[in-house]
Structure 1
Amino acid sequence: MTYERPWYRWYVLFILTLIYAFSYVDRQIVTILAPYLKKDMGISDAQLGLLYGTSFALFYCVFGIPLARLADGWSRVRTLALGLSFWSLMTALSGLARSFSQLGVARIGVGVGEASATPAAVSLLGDYFERSRRGTVLALYSVGVYVGAGASLIVGGSILSTWEHAYGKGHGVAPFGLVGWQATFIGVGLPGLLFALIVLLTIKEPVRGRLDAVAAKKDPHPFGSAMRSLGAMVPPWSWMHLKALGASRREYVRNWTYLLFAVLLVIFATWGTNHVLSASRKAEIGSVFGLSITSNLVQWIAIAVAVYVCSNWFQATRLGDASAHRLITGSRPFVAVTVAGAFLAFAMNAVNGFVFVYASRTLGLTAQAGLHLGIIAIIAGGAGIAVSGYLCDYAKRKHPFGRLYFVCFTASVFTGASVIQYLTHSITVFYCAYAVATLFVPMWFGPLQATTQDLVIPRLRGTAFAAFSLGPNIFGLGLGPYCVGLISDATGDLRLAILCGIAVLPVSIFSLLVASRSLLKGEEAARAELAAADAGAIEEASIGLPIEQLT
Structure 2
Amino acid sequence: MSENEALPESVEEPYPSEKYSWFVVSILLIAYIFSFIDRQILGFLVGPMKEDLGISDNHMALLGGFSFAVFYTIFGIPLGRLADSKSRRTIIAVGLAVWSLMSMGCGIAKNFATLAMFRMGVGVGEASLSPSAYSLITDLFKPNRIALAISVYGAGIYIGSGLAYLVGGIVVSFVGDAEFVTLPIIGDVKPWQSVFFYIGLPGLMFVPFMFLIKEPKRRGLGKNANAESVPLPEVFAYVKANWRTFFFHNVGFAFLSFIGYGSAFWIVEFFVRTHDMARGDIGKIYGVIVIVVGTLGIISGGFFADKLRERGYADSKMRVGLIAALCHIPLGLAFPLMPNSTLAFIVLCPAVYTAAMPFGVAPAAIQEMMPNRMRGQASAIYLFVVNMIGMGLGPNAVSFFTVNVFHDDSKLNWSLAIVSTVAGLLASFLLWKGMAQFRKSMETKEAMDA
**Structure 1 length-normalised TM:** 0.74
2:83 to 50, 54, 71: 71
CA distance in 1, matches of 2:78, 2:341: 45
Deviations 1:41-67 (A, max 9, x none): 111111111110100100011100000
Alpha-carbon spacing, 1:54–1:172, altered in 2? closer, same or farther (3 Å): closer
Correspondence for 1:510: 429
CA distance in 1, matches of 2:390, 2:122: 18
CA separation in 1, counterparts of 2:250 and 2:26?
27
Which one-letter code corresponds to 1:408 in the other structure? L
Q: Name the structure 1 match of 2:200.
A: 189
Deviations 1:443-469 (A, max 9, x none): 111222222212111111111111111
Match of 1:364 among 262, 265, 276: 276
The answer to whether structure 1 residue 475 and structure 2 residue 394 are counterparts is no
CA distance in 1, matches of 2:325, 2:151: 16
Residues 1:347 and 2:256 are matched in the alignment:
no
Distance in 1, matches of 2:388 and 2:65, equals 9
Percentage of matched positions with identical amino acids: 32
Give how far 1:213 is off: 6.4
**Structure 1 counterpart of 2:188, from 177, 186, 198:** 177
Structure 1 residue 174: Cα displacement: 6.6
Q: 1:3 to 1:97 in 2, by over 3 A?
A: farther
2:345 is aligned to 431
Deviation of the 1:396 alpha carbon: 2.6
| Counterpart-to-counterpart distance in 2, 1:91 and 1:174 | 16
The 5 Å alignment of 1:404-483 reads 404-483=318-397
List aligned pairs for 1:109-124, cutoff 5 A: 109-124=121-136
C-alpha separation in 1, matches of 2:122 and 2:304: 33
Q: Is the 1:207–1:215 contact (alpha carbons within 8 Å) kept by the matching residues of 2?
A: no
Q: Deviations over 1:131-161 (max 9, x none)?
A: 1111111111111100000000001221222
Shift of the 383–328 alpha-carbon distance from structure 1 to 2, 3 Å rule, reads farther
- 1:157-208 deviation digits (Å, cap 9, x = unpaired): 212222336xx15x986761211111100110011111111112x1111121
- Name 1:401's counterpart in structure 2: 315
What does residue 8 of structure 2 align with?
none
Query: SS state of the match for residue 353, structure 1?
Result: helix
Gapped runs of 5+ residues in structure 2? 2-13
Q: Deviations over 1:308-332 (max 9, x none)?
A: xxxxxxxxx8xx5224422467432
Query: Is 1:333 aligned to 2:245, yes or no?
Result: yes
State the aligned residue count.
429
Q: Does 1:501 align with 2:427?
A: no
Q: Which amino acid aligns with 1:496?
A: W
Matches within 5 A, 1:54-453: 54-164=66-176, 168=178, 176-200=187-211, 202-209=212-219, 212=220, 214=222, 217-218=225-226, 220=228, 320-327=232-239, 330-366=242-278, 367-398=280-311, 399-453=313-367
3-state SS of paired residue (2:218): coil
Mapped to 2, the partners of 1:208 and 1:400 lie a distance apart of: 23
Q: Cα gap change, 1:188/1:218 in structure 2, threshold over 3 Å: closer, same or farther?
A: farther
Q: Note the C-alpha offset of 1:525.
A: 2.0
Q: Which amino acid aligns with 1:214?
A: G
Q: Which of 501, 509, 525 lines up with 2:444 in the alignment?
A: 525
Deviations 1:457-508 (A, max 9, x none): 1111111111111221111111110121122112112122212211222211
1:304-358 Cα distance to aligned partner (Å, 9 max, x none): xxxxxxxxxxxxx8xx522442246743212210010111111111211100011
Shift of 1:436: 1.0
1:406-425 alpha-carbon deviations (Å, 9 max, x no partner): 22221122221122210012
1:345–1:472: 8 Å Cα contact kept in structure 2?
yes
Indicate how the Cα distance of structure 1 residues 401 and 174 shifts in structure 2: closer, same or farther if over 3 A, else same: closer
3-state DSSP of counterpart to 1:504 = helix
CA 1:461–1:413: 2 relative to 1, 3 Å: same
Structure 1 segments unaligned to the other structure (5+ residues): 226-316, 532-551
**What SS does the aligned partner of 1:73 have?**
coil
Contact kept in structure 1, 2:15 and 2:141, CA below 8 Å: no
- Which structure has the bigger radius of gyration? 1
Secondary structure at 2:339's aligned position in 1?
coil
Q: Answer yes or no: is the 8 Å Cα contact 2:44–2:265 preserved in 1.
A: no
Does the CA-based 8 Å contact 1:94-1:185 persist in structure 2? yes
Partners of 2:438 and 2:300 lie apart in 1 by 24
> Aligned with 2:45: secondary structure?
helix
